[in-house]
C-alpha cells in the first residue's frame, strides 16, 4: 500500500512498520475493550433503570418495551466486543494501521488516546482509566 494509506503491510518484520503505524490486532483489541466497557456501562444503567421502574411500580407496556431494548443493547455490545476480539486474534501480524490518525477525529480526548494507542487499551477502567469525560446534561 502507499505510504499515505491508513493501513500498511509490513513484509520485513525485522524492519517493522514506519511510525506511527501499529499492529492492526492491537487497534482491534482496543476497540473490543472500549465496546466491552460500553456494554458493562449499559448493563449498570439497565440495573439502575430496573430499580427505578420497580420503585415506581411502573407497569407501562411502552416502558417495558424500551427496557427490553436496553437489554438487547447490552447483549449486542457484548457480542460485538467478542467479535472484535476474535478479529484481533486472527489478524495478520504484518498488517499495521495509523490508529492515531484515525482517532484524531474522535471528540472525547481520553477515548481518542486509548484508540490511537497513546494509552494502554487493556487497562481496567477502575484501575487506571479516569471516569468517562464529556458533556453533562441535567434535565429538570
> Does residue 98 carry a pLDDT above 70?
yes
Q: Are 68 and 75 in contact (CB under 8 A)?
A: no
Let me know the angle formed at the C-alpha of 9 by 118 and 111, rounded to the nearest 5 degrees.
Answer: 20
Expressed as residue numbers, the domain containing 94 is 7-116
Report the chain's C-alpha Rg in angstroms: 19
Q: Which residues contact 27 (CB under 8 A, 6 or more apart)?
A: 97, 99, 102, 115, 117
Q: To the nearest whole number, what is the mean pLDDT of the chain? A: 78
Q: Is residue 140 part of a domain?
A: no
> Does residue 126 carry a pLDDT above 50?
no
% of residues, the chain, pLDDT over 90:
45
Q: Is residue 24 part of a domain?
A: yes
Task: Give me the number of domains the chain comprises.
Answer: 1
The C-alpha cell 464529556 sits at: 134
Amino acid at each position: 500500500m502507499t505510504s499515505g494509506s491508513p493501513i500498511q503491510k509490513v513484509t520485513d518484520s525485522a524492519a517493522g512498520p514506519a511510525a506511527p503505524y501499529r499492529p492492526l490486532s492491537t487497534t482491534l483489541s482496543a476497540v473490543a475493550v472500549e465496546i466491552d466497557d460500553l456494554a458493562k456501562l449499559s448493563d449498570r444503567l439497565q440495573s439502575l433503570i430496573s430499580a427505578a421502574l420497580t420503585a415506581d411500580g411502573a407497569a407501562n407496556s411502552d416502558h417495558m418495551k424500551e427496557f427490553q431494548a436496553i437489554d438487547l443493547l447490552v447483549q449486542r455490545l457484548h457480542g460485538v466486543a467478542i467479535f472484535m476480539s476474535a478479529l484481533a486474534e486472527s489478524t495478520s501480524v504484518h498488517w499495521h494501521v495509523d490508529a492515531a490518525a484515525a482517532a484524531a477525529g474522535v471528540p472525547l480526548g481520553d477515548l481518542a488516546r486509548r484508540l490511537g494507542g497513546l494509552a494502554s487499551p487493556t487497562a481496567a477502567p477502575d484501575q487506571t482509566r479516569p471516569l468517562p469525560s464529556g458533556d453533562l446534561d441535567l434535565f429538570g
